[in-house]
Amino acid sequence: MLRFILFVLISMISSQTLCWDMYSLDKNLFVGNIIFPQNVKNVPQIFLYQRGLKLQAETDNASKKIQFTITEEKKYNKFHFLITQYVHPKIENNTVQCLQIGKKQDYKLYKLELVEIHDPQKSSTKKGSDFCHWEIKEKKIGPEKIIPDDTLIILFNPAYVEKVEGGNNFELRKICIKSDLLKLAGSEEKLHDEVNELLMASLDLNILHTKPTAEIKPDYKKKLVVAMSNPE
């Protein structure tokens, strides 16, 4: 007969909190599309960045497009699109101060602002997707070539972009690539070679836009309770 018996009782007391992050009620989720001409067999891979993060993009060869999503705080209703081939950081004292483009580098910069349209035939207080759209204006970057902090950066040859169109308060404006893309690039093979060169040149940019690993903190709400008994 055992002279004593050890009983271990473990109780975990913790509070669980749902993390909404992208789907927070304080944020808007927008869908964007880069539309390629139908004669492109394989849509090239393109890197996109915004606010220190590399965006996830999905390539759809059947529909000839690249689709991506961004989340914005509801208090923000404006940001920029930048289409250019290269971006480099300005570093001082081992700290990235900003992102820049070259002095003579080609680019296309657009300012997007979500504005509400008032229909005189309907109540001026009514809000909905039919009453909002993205107002767009093409802009120039200042002499220092500093990219605005809120910019969505698309690494691609700006000479291949035809226009930016469409969009409402759920969908961003579409970036339409020129129908004679393959003629401008020389061939589809040359197009992919050009894009692959941009991807290789952006490896350092990927490191700067890597999501930091979450800090591990002790959870003091969890307790371990051990009970011991020595019956007579």
pLDDT category at 16 given cuts 50, 70, 90 is: very low
Mean pLDDT of 17-23: 38
- The continuous run of DSSP H or E covering 163 comes out as strand 161-165
pTM of the model: 0.71
Q: What is the pLDDT of residue 26?
A: 61
pLDDT category at 76 given cuts 50, 70, 90 is: low
Top-confidence residue, 117 or 163: 163
Mean pLDDT of 117-139: 65
Q: Is 105 exposed, middle or buried (0-12, 13-18, 19+ CB in 10 A)?
A: middle
Q: Are 173 and 112 in contact (CB under 8 A)?
A: yes
Domain assignments of the chain as residue spans, ordered by start? 25-118+130-208
Rounded percentage of the chain residues whose pLDDT exceeds 90: 37
Top-confidence residue, 220 or 200: 200
Q: What is the pLDDT of residue 75?
A: 62
Four-CA torsion 190, 193, 199, 201, nearest 10 degrees: -100
Q: What is the pLDDT of residue 18?
A: 35
Q: What is the pLDDT of residue 203?
A: 74
Buried b / exposed e over 145-168, threshold 16 CB at 10 Å, is: bebeeebbbbbbbeebbeebeebb
Q: What is the chain's mean pLDDT, rounded?
A: 76
Q: Which of 15-24, 48-57, 147-156, 223-232 has the highest mean pLDDT?
A: 147-156
pLDDT category at 129 given cuts 50, 70, 90 is: very low
Mean pLDDT of 50-74: 86
